[in-house]
Amino acid sequence: MGSIVKNGIAPAIVASALVQLTDLTLGYNRHPAVHHLGGAFLEGSLTAVVGPNGAGKSTLLKGIVGMLKPLDGEISIPGLARNDIAYLPQQADVDRSFPITVIDVLCLGLWGEIGLFQAVGRSRLARVEAALSAVGLDRFEQRPIGSLSGGQFQRVLFARLLLQDARLILLDEPFTAIDMRTTADLLQLILRWHGERRTIVAALHDFDLVREHFPEALLLSREPIAWGRTAEVLTPANLLRARQLCESWDEAADLCRRAD
Amino acid sequence: MTLADLLLTPFLEFSFMRRALVGCFALALGAAPVGVFLMLRRMSLMGDVMAHAILPGAAVGFLVAGLSLGAMTAGGLTAGLIVALLAGLVSRVTPLREDASFAAFYLISLAAGVLIVSMRGSSVDLMHILFGTVLALNDAALRLIASIATLTLFAMAAIYRGLVAECFDPGFLRVAGVSGPFVHLIFLALVVLNLVGGFHALGTLMVVGIMMLPAVAARFWASQIWSMILAALLIAVVASYAGLLLSYHANLPSGPAIILMAGGLCGISILAGGRDGVLVRLFRRRHLKA
């Protein structure tokens, strides 16, 4: 079971596990990137996944979203349909010179509702406008995305997440290469989602930001180091262990027999 | 010679010119929008690949039934779809990238195609398949091309939203919806259909020209997808008309004339296009206030 239980911390509100990880190992070519991770992301929790580069943060998110099959163990998200999960990849695989306007990008966020054929309609369009203004991009509707700055484009992607109205939101390094003002604005959005009892998991590397805003943290270093209240996870001892543990790639690694 | 002699008489006088024109217009109607999306998906060379992939199928049809429209169409369609499906499958279940898996499959089918044609046909027949016979389109061929164009336009309208999403952010659609692979498959089928329809007129190799050149040219004029499609259509139609006229007056083979016209328009667009054209970039215009 998860280290939340091990640490003996009872969550303030009795919440059920939304994402249950059981002895999960994820990786590439049989080499683990996330090794024997067990625990749960509780419904309504706001968790930062932290750790050094190569610790398996992105890999974990990809596993949860279903882009990567576990090498071992299990990820179970019983209560959620595909539409209930929103995912923001680290480097969205998008062509920024693509001839599409901001409003059309946002409308993609409605995909779960409208699919291929349904009309967007006036009420949904109003929601699109509201989402745009929530990320501080009023009157940007008709701008081609090629004309946006990196920060503005990240705001657009957040507005699209907003429209997806998902119960589980996975963010992979959402604030990389983004100025402080934009980071602060987007962080407000995350906190608003938290207030709406959505479950949020964000891979981050800025410890100060995590300490200040994220109630829960999972410290990964390929192996899980600690998972629970942020203050108890991000201790100097844990961080030191995380740095030491992140071993180098071993091409000729032996079979892992821990589960036997 | 009056202007009417130059521009209209060939078509008024000769029915084979009218047929060629109608055939090319229908081809443009279907192929140009497909080309725009191929370009936007960064799959511009895919058309070329698929055109080669059609060859063994058409060759088998030719082997069985001679120069018959039905057999060669059915064969080409089958071969094209098989290659598209296999290549798509391989790139989805293995880490091999799509372009690499398409390259592998089309090279195999190209070799198979040439082998099969050479088993029975003469080199004239091979030329027929490779370069088409736009001035000898019969009713059946015209009907085929027109039907494919109609089907293409309706199908593209139906999956338009999915296509745009797939082109713009394929990762998003993979997470958010299930229709991604479905849309992609329909699109690949449309690519194959248009190439098969086109190869009777322009041949398997040059039909790609009427698909891609107008699309590339349109990119330099339009900044939205719908306007890009319209621009590509217009350019394809103009190239067909001008190419046929050129081939008539200068007594040149018509397929290459049409594609070269499209190529000329493409060159002009790259140079003088209003959106990112070379000239626009060369001359610094006064900047705006905000």
Return mean pLDDT, chain A: 86
* B3-282, CATH topology level: ABC transporter involved in vitamin B12 uptake, BtuC (1.10.3470)
* Count of C-beta atoms within a 10 Å radius of residue A200: 22
Question: For A104-160, how does the pLDDT look when each residue is reduced to its tens digit (9 = 90+)?
Answer: 999 999 988 888 888 888 999 999 999 999 999 999 989 999 889 888 999 999 999
Contact A91, A178 (CB under 8 A): no
Site from B38, B42, B167, B169 to mutate, A interface, most A CB atoms within 10 angstroms:
B169
Which residue in chain B has the smallest CA separation from A98?
A: B168
Contact at CB, B175 and A65, closer than 8 angstroms: yes
ipTM exceeding cut-off 0.85 for this assembly: no
Residue B234: which pLDDT band, with cuts at 50, 70 and 90? very high
Give the best-scoring range by mean pLDDT among A5-9, A129-133, B66-70.
A129-133
Rounded to 5°, angle at Cα B173 from A193 and A222: 65
Question: For B169-196, how does the pLDDT look when each residue is reduced to its tens digit (9 = 90+)?
Answer: 888 887 776 677 788 889 989 999 999 8
Return mean pLDDT, chain B: 87
Q: Return the pLDDT at A5.
A: 43
Q: Domain coordinates of chain B in residue numbers?
A: 3-282
Higher confidence at residue A197 or residue A29?
Answer: A197
Contact A106, A156 (CB under 8 A): yes
Q: How far apart are CA A147 and CA A116, in angstroms?
A: 27
Q: How far apart are CA A163 and CA A112, in angstroms?
A: 10
Contact at CB, A111 and B158, closer than 8 angstroms: no
Q: Return the pLDDT at A200.
A: 95
| Residue A259 pLDDT greater than 60, yes or no | yes
Residues of B in contact with A116 (CB under 8 A): 158-159, 161-162, 179, 183
Q: Return the pLDDT at B147.
A: 95
Residue B65: Cβ-neighbour burial (10 angstroms; 0-12, 13-18, 19+): middle
> What residues have CB less than 8 Å from B113, skipping those under 6 apart?
B52, B55, B56, B57, B58, B59, B79
Contact at CB, B168 and A86, closer than 8 angstroms: no
% pLDDT > 70, chain A: 90
One-letter amino acid for residue B87 of the chain: A
DSSP B212: H
Residue A70: Cβ-neighbour burial (10 angstroms; 0-12, 13-18, 19+): middle
Question: For B244-258, how does the pLDDT look when each residue is reduced to its tens digit (9 = 90+)?
Answer: 999 999 999 888 999
| Residue B266 pLDDT greater than 70, yes or no | yes
Q: Return the pLDDT at A246.
A: 65
Contact A47, A203 (CB under 8 A): no
| Domains defined along chain A, listed by start | 1-80+203-252 (3.40.50.300)
Q: What does the pLDDT average to over A59-88? A: 89
Q: How far apart are CA A36 and CA A72, in angstroms?
A: 8
Question: For B119-169, how does the pLDDT look when each residue is reduced to its tens digit (9 = 90+)?
Answer: 776 667 667 777 777 888 888 889 999 999 999 999 999 999 999 988 888
Question: For A241-253, how does the pLDDT look when each residue is reduced to its tens digit (9 = 90+)?
Answer: 888 876 655 667 7
Torsions phi, psi of A29, nearest 5? 55, 40
| Residue A30 pLDDT greater than 90, yes or no | no
Q: How far apart are CA A117 and CA B225, in angstroms?
A: 18
Residues of A in contact with B158 (CB under 8 A): 116-117
Give the best-scoring range by mean pLDDT among A175-184, B80-89, B153-162.
B153-162
First to last CA, chain A: 17
The distance of Cα B126 from the centroid of its chain, to the nearest Å, equals 20
Contact A186, A202 (CB under 8 A): no
The answer to whether B94 faces chain A, any CB pair under 8 Å, is: no
The answer to whether B157 faces chain A, any CB pair under 8 Å, is: no
User: b/e per residue, A201-210, with b = 16+ CB within 10 A?
Assistant: bbbbbeeebb
> What residues have CB less than 8 Å from A71, skipping those under 6 apart?
A25, A26, A27, A30, A32
Q: How far apart are CA B229 and CA B183, in angstroms?
A: 18
Collect all residues from A whose CB is shorter than 8 A from any CB in B.
65-67, 82-83, 85-87, 89, 92-95, 98-101, 104-105, 108, 111-112, 115-117, 144, 164
CB nearest B168 (choices: A67, A85, A100) = A100
Torsions phi, psi of B251, nearest 5? 55, 50
DSSP B255: H
Q: What does the pLDDT average to over B45-63? A: 85
Residue A9: which pLDDT band, with cuts at 50, 70 and 90? very low
Question: Count of alpha carbons within 13 Å of B175, Cβ hemisphere only?
Answer: 27
**Beta-strand relationship, A72-76 and A223-229:** unpaired
Contact at CB, A112 and B158, closer than 8 angstroms: no
Q: Return the pLDDT at A45.
A: 93
CA distance to partner chain A, nearest, from residue B11 (Å): 38
Tokens of B90: 């391989």
Q: Return the pLDDT at A247.
A: 61
Contact at CB, B175 and A66, closer than 8 angstroms: yes
Site from B40, B172, B174, B230 to mutate, A interface, most A CB atoms within 10 angstroms:
B172
3-state SS class at B288: coil
Contact at CB, B172 and A116, closer than 8 angstroms: no
Q: Return the pLDDT at A83.
A: 82
The distance of Cα A150 from the centroid of its chain, to the nearest Å, equals 19
Higher confidence at residue B195 or residue B91?
Answer: B195
CA distance to partner chain A, nearest, from residue B148 (Å): 23
CA distance to partner chain B, nearest, from residue A6 (Å): 33
SS3 for chain A is CCHHHHCCCCCCCCCCEEEEEEEEEEEECCEEEEEEEEEEEECCCEEEEECCCCCCHHHHHHHHHCCCCCCEEEEECCCCCHHHEEEECCCCCCCCCCCCEHHHHHHHCCHHHHCCCCCCHHHHHHHHHHHHHHCCCCCCCCCEHHHCCHHHHHHHHHHHHHHHCCCEEEEECCCCCCCHHHHHHHHHHHHHHHHCCCEEEEECCCHHHHHHHCCEEEEEECEEEEEEEHHHHCCHHHHHHHHHHCCCCCCCCCCCCCCC
CA distance to partner chain B, nearest, from residue A21 (Å): 20
Residue A198: which pLDDT band, with cuts at 50, 70 and 90? very high
Question: For A207-257, how does the pLDDT look when each residue is reduced to its tens digit (9 = 90+)?
Answer: 999 999 999 999 998 888 999 999 999 999 999 888 887 665 566 777 887
First to last CA, chain B: 54
